[in-house]
């Protein structure tokens, strides 16, 4: 394998709790991401959303834009309305030569609410998945018309969280909808990321690598705490620093010649976990797995 490695700026500045890392500048984030060896970055809340402003900033740090998260509301509006709402974001990604759009349903989500317990997350009834999948497939076709692959991000605290949710989503969507495999969110939800990689290897279009601190995870699950409290308590770390079997994940992806981005997205409190130190650790570990000659 010889895959590009990106990083999400959430290691420096949290998108849901913007006071966490709020003092760290975009310049520091990009300088350190580049110094750690990364090929690209995903969008964060401190990034300009105009390609004419963003492109020269990233170029000055020898970084590409990997992609960016889009919050969908397909449980409460139709595909046409969603496509219209997504247009500006898709246009930015297209202008920045991205290949994928990170897509996640947020209707009723609780992952950004610090006082909401994870057990309160939204769920679809069995008879609701088909219509949801059909609408998403239609949005995926619109993304493809802009040269973007819609990659669905399963996420704690949302309607697509568990292995059963992922199975239902994949069953009810067409090939226009690919899967963003997020190892940390899968493991947190009780799913096996290696099994997901094996089952959906041909439909995985993007990979997020966050590792899990098992002790913190079990404490978070036992207390049914909020997602954000789990993050602040240190449930996530960079790949190679936790309990997830990354060699096995990439062995499965290699079988189908996965050639997309692999992205470190390990949100931690930067006042506790030095962003540059952990970014460097994550890059060094991943490069040994996915960079030819490393």
Torsion sign across C-alpha atoms 222, 224, 227, 229:
negative
Q: What digits encode the pLDDT tens for the residues 211-239?
A: 999 999 999 999 999 999 999 999 999 99
Note the pLDDT of residue 127.
95
The whole-angstrom separation of Cα 22 and Cα 33 is 17
**Mind giving me the DSSP string for 89-144?**
HHHHHHHTT--EEEEEE-TT--TT-TT--GGG-----GGGHHHHHHHHHHHHHHHH
Confidence of residue 294 (pLDDT cuts 50, 70, 90): low
Closest by CA to 175, choosing from 204, 198, 203, is: 203
Closest by CA to 154, choosing from 193, 186, 197, is: 186
Tokens, residue 261: 């981005």
Domains in the chain with CATH codes = 5-290 (3.20.20.150)
Note the pLDDT of residue 266.
87
Intra-chain end-to-end CA distance of the chain, in Å: 10
6 pLDDT higher than 70: yes
Tokens, residue 183: 């190892």
Mean pLDDT, to the nearest integer, of 284-288? 97
Note the pLDDT of residue 252.
96
Note the pLDDT of residue 133.
98
Residues 6+ apart with CB under 8 A from 217: 187, 188, 230, 235
Closest by CA to 154, choosing from 168, 140, 143, 141, is: 168
Note the pLDDT of residue 293.
61
Closest by CA to 113, choosing from 42, 186, 17, is: 17
76 pLDDT higher than 90: yes
Residues 6+ apart with CB under 8 A from 73: 82, 85, 105, 106, 107
3 pLDDT higher than 80: yes
Tokens, residue 142: 């619109």
Residue at token pair 């240190």? 234
Closest by CA to 205, choosing from 156, 143, 277, 267, is: 143
Confidence of residue 292 (pLDDT cuts 50, 70, 90): confident
CA distances from 293 to 37, 214, 259 (A): 15, 31, 16
Helix H or strand E encompassing 236: strand 236-237
The whole-angstrom separation of Cα 72 and Cα 94 is 18
Mean pLDDT, to the nearest integer, of 20-43? 97
Helices and strands, counts by H and E, the chain: 11, 11
Share of the chain above pLDDT 70, in %: 99
Mean pLDDT, to the nearest integer, of 171-198? 98
Confidence of residue 112 (pLDDT cuts 50, 70, 90): confident
Q: What digits encode the pLDDT tens for the residues 113-153?
A: 888 999 999 999 999 999 999 999 999 999 999 999 999 99
Q: What digits encode the pLDDT tens for the residues 247-268?
A: 999 999 999 999 999 999 989 9
């Amino acid at each position: 394998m010889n895959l590009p490695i990106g990083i999400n700026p959430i290691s420096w500045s949290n998108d849901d709790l913007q006071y966490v890392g709020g003092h760290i500048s975009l310049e520091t984030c990009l300088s350190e991401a580049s110094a750690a060896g990364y090929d690209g970055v995903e969008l964060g809340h401190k990034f300009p959303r105009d390609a004419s402003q963003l492109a020269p900033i990233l170029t000055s740090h020898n970084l590409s834009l990997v992609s960016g998260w889009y919050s969908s509301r397909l449980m409460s509006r139709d595909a046409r309305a969603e496509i219209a709402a997504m247009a500006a974001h898709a246009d930015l990604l297209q202008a920045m030569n991205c290949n994928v759009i990170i897509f996640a349903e947020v209707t009723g989500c609780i992952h950004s609410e610090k006082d909401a317990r994870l057990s309160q997350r939204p769920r679809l009834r069995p008879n609701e998945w088909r219509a949801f999948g059909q609408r998403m497939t239609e949005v995926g076709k619109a993304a493809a018309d802009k040269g973007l692959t819609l990659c669905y991000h399963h996420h704690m605290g949302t309607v697509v969280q568990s292995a059963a949710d992922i199975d239902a989503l994949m069953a009810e969507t067409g090939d226009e909808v690919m899967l963003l495999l997020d190892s940390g969110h899968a493991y947190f939800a009780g799913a096996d990321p290696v099994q997901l990689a094996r089952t959906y290897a041909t439909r995985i279009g993007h990979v997020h690598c966050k590792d899990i601190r098992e002790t913190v995870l079990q404490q978070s699950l036992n207390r049914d705490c909020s997602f954000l409290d789990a993050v602040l308590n240190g449930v996530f770390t960079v790949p190679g620093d936790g309990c997830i079997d990354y060699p096995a994940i990439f062995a499965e992806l290699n079988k189908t010649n996965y050639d997309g981005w692999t992205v470190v997205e390990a949100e931690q409190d930067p006042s506790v976990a030095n962003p540059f130190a952990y970014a460097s650790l994550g890059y060094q570990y991943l490069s040994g797995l996915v960079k030819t000659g490393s």
